[in-house]
Amino acid sequence: MATVREIYQYLDGLAPFSLQMEFDNAGFLVGRGERAVSKILVSLDITEEVAEEAAELGEELVVSHHPVIFRPAKSVTDGDPDGRVLLALAEHRIAAICAHTNLDAVAGGVNDALAQKLGLVQIEQLHQDGVDGSGRPYGIGRVGSPTGGDGIGALDPVFLQLPNSGILVQFTMMFGLNGDGSSSEETGTTPDILSPAGEPALVTALRAMEGVA
């Protein structure tokens, strides 16, 4: 069974937290790294309702896009919403990992997914901020040309192996789906899991992790 720290390390390989913008606070923000994880809840924000749902479902980890701690907390009490969220997570031993601008900027991340969802082709980074440890250029913003139809322009596929398993995931957000839903695969590589059209790669990976943890 994977731990919170191992899942954080996996996500760090997918969208390195070092790529986050200076104002951001993405990362492993709440919980114990060695906590075993059998269930993960994925959300845009970690609100009181999300924390309550995670507790009711027995989730040990919440992975969100927006950081649950964005500014330095001067207090953690039940007198304000932010404090109640953090108290609920701590009381139910629920960890929180938040992937924000690092997931926006990384190749194949939120910016690319939105550009592809809009049907853009010849997608380029609006501004390249640098190159990550895997040699992938990263930056906030994307620009491309519209296809005029439902098809999404083809990009090279990306294959990632889940931690502590031999499962290989191919992300549709990194390559093109034709109008009929067909896709091209890297020669000689067959994924065990193909991310469904319209589902973010991160969600597919986390669902798969739940199945093998």
- pLDDT score for 152: 42
How confident is the prediction for the chain on average, in pLDDT? 80
Q: What is the C-alpha to C-alpha distance for residues 148 and 141, in angstroms, rounded to an integer?
A: 21
* Percent of the chain whose pLDDT exceeds 70: 69
Whether the predicted pLDDT of 184 surpasses 60 = no
Q: What is the CA radius of gyration of the chain?
A: 18
Q: What is the C-alpha to C-alpha distance for residues 68 and 87, in angstroms, rounded to an integer?
A: 12
> Residue 208 has which token pair?
């798969």
Per-residue pLDDT of 49-59, as tens digits, reads 999 999 999 99
Q: What is the C-alpha to C-alpha distance for residues 24 and 5, in angstroms, rounded to an integer?
A: 20
Angle at 137 between CA 108 and CA 172, to 5 degrees: 15
Per-residue pLDDT of 73-104, as tens digits, reads 899 999 999 999 999 999 999 999 999 999 99
Q: What is the mean pLDDT of residues 110-139?
A: 87
Residue-wise DSSP of 61-95: EEEESS-S--S--S---TTSHHHHHHHHHHHTT-E
Does the pTM exceed 0.75?
A: no
3-state secondary structure of 199: coil
Model confidence band, residue 201 (pLDDT cutoffs 50, 70, 90): low
Q: What is the mean pLDDT of residues 120-148?
A: 84
